[in-house]
Structure 1
Amino acid sequence: MTNTATSPLLAPYSSDSLSLPNRIVMAPMTRFRAHEDGTPLPVVADYYAQRAGAGLLITEGIWPHRRGQSGWRIPGLETEAHVVGWRAVTEAVHARGGRIFAQLMHGGRQGHPRSRLLGDIPAGPSAVPVPGPVHVKDGKAEAPIPREMTTDDIRTAFADHVAAAHNALRAGFDGVEIHGANSYLTHQFLADNTNRRDDAYGRDKTLFAIELVTAVAEAVGAHRLGLRLSPGNPQFGMSEHDPAPLYRALAEALDPLGLAYLHVTDNDDYPALADLRPRWNGTLIANVGENRAPTTQQQGERVLVKGHADLVSYGRTFLTHPDLPARIAANDPLATPINMEHLYTHGAQGYTDYPTLEEERARRFTSPTTQ
């Protein structure tokens, strides 16, 4: 039995920028399947192609330039080798009828000399380090105190994003998403404790995000650009004492640009989806699993029924269920566990070896009975 006719997650969606067969989005998730130079491994094409049944795929975070590299074996979109590597991914996804955006993720203060190709100290809005030890390519280390970005550094970061966005289109991506969430550079400019500047970018914490989004939109077209935000997200020591006024102002400033979408995570202390939906006239993607249990089918449907978003992004559930839309159509319980041992390793195990529902049923049908 299927629920194709009744689940709002399976309804097509169309806007000026998007034409999607369903409202299920694969959220960006770091998986460390890249060569040391940041070129995606061949298995990455298999991974995304397996999940091409999503209405929209958003890649893991990709550094726009090695200046923004946050970790070892995280992929990049800086060099021609990167473009060629990602072109294999987009061609595999498109061959299966999918649509895929590249998420541009500048680490800002995130990073360590032992995990950066440049071997340098990362730079962020202010000289405020990440709390606690950080992962490096050969273990763990104390987080360095980041260098405070100059105005020239900020302009360079904008140019790096623009160049990477052009590279993404050359690689065949349908669009790009700027990572303005989860403690990375743009979020660092928005947050209270990581942005202690006394210049224009400190007095107006939305300014960096507005100028960055505008620059990329002007370069590649607003209809090819999305933005992810996580208001009030405390990951990696982030602190936003009163996020509502800031994110309302940001949404209202960016709304006239006509972006492809705004991608927002909810927070227990600030119901961002309900608060920002009336302030955003374009497509809104909801993520309700951040810092919570994985999103269920019922939770995703509830978001759509309430009108809090047009699309719903799934993260961990998509890792273990590559055919997630088909499973929702079949009322599958979505109970396949994550292979935690190989979640962040570098091969196919725990990455592309999760079965589809059809494969699971075939195995059950053909498995020998015990006597």
Structure 2
Amino acid sequence: MKKQLVLMALGVAALGCGSDPTSVANANPDPQSCLKGSISTGDVKSGTLNSASCLRYDFAYSEDSTPYDAYSFQAEKGKGYMFLLESSDGVTNWDALLELATVNPATGNEQLLALSDDEGPHGWSRMYFIAPVSGTFYVRASGYEISDTSGYKLTAKSCDSPIAEITGTLTASAQTLSATDCVLAQPNFVNDSAHVKLFSVYIGPNETKTISVHSTDFGAGFQVYGPAWGVDCSYAYEGCGGGVGEQTKGDPQSVTITAQGDQNCNNFSINAPDQAGPLASRVSESPSVCEQFNWPGQYTVAVGSNFSGLGAFTLTVDAGPPPRIVGPDAPIRNPTLNFLRKKPLRATEYLNRAH
């Protein structure tokens, strides 16, 4: 907990470089004894996490030992998926954590691809994505920390996009949001559960894309995150880009992304001591901590409304002018999700957990 507060105070994001996280990888990052079988869309898996469960130290996110079960999952490029991890009775609050992992074939090391923490009701977790590559991956069902044990249900659902990945522009495409679409709990564009339709948009190096949504049937909103597995940028992984189109009826909402590998640096000061002594030769410094974002790749768009908001909408993707600084030195990088830090706690969450 103390380490997290230091990170929040300094605005530090752990960064790094690595191989392309969308590469095909089939190796199991966990011991075979912790694998509880496979999971496919339409399945509901049940289990119990307790003191007898497999235990691993989650270096990438929770920074705690966590009991977990793992399931293999066969993803197909371009298909949409959603996983919900909830308590077994469907009522009890439980701090659940979902992770999608593999082994990086270039390094042989574990590679964390996607995660969800508290993105479902009652502290449960709900993860969604359009797969950027086909392959066998591993879903971990766990608690946030070692004391978060529970009986659980893990549900896998298909959330296919009605159209193929948008690699260029898209004129206003008529779509329909229906009660059979997948559901997100409190997405960033509305404080309610929402049916959502998923789309994928490819933004190449130094390309600018403007994504717009318009509906006269309901208050439409959307969120777009990427590249690769479409993880929310609040997890502060290197290269993340995206934005939120606020919910509105009748007026189009837009988000513009330029995939140029931007860099945001924060300076903090280290002052030389006033007194003489062993440290007197130390000089004042202002080192920079930099966070990189808006890398090129596949971005996942989730369009929705409040829970009762259903009907017709249009999706448009326009190309904008390239950034002013381009050329052979323009950064072309692939993100790796090995370098995640904890999502900042709300004040009430910190008080509840600290006392």
Greater share of helix residues, 1 or 2?
1
TM-score (norm 2): 0.27
Higher strand share: 2
TM-score (normalizing by structure 1): 0.27
User: Which of structures 1 and 2 has the bigger CA Rg?
Assistant: 2
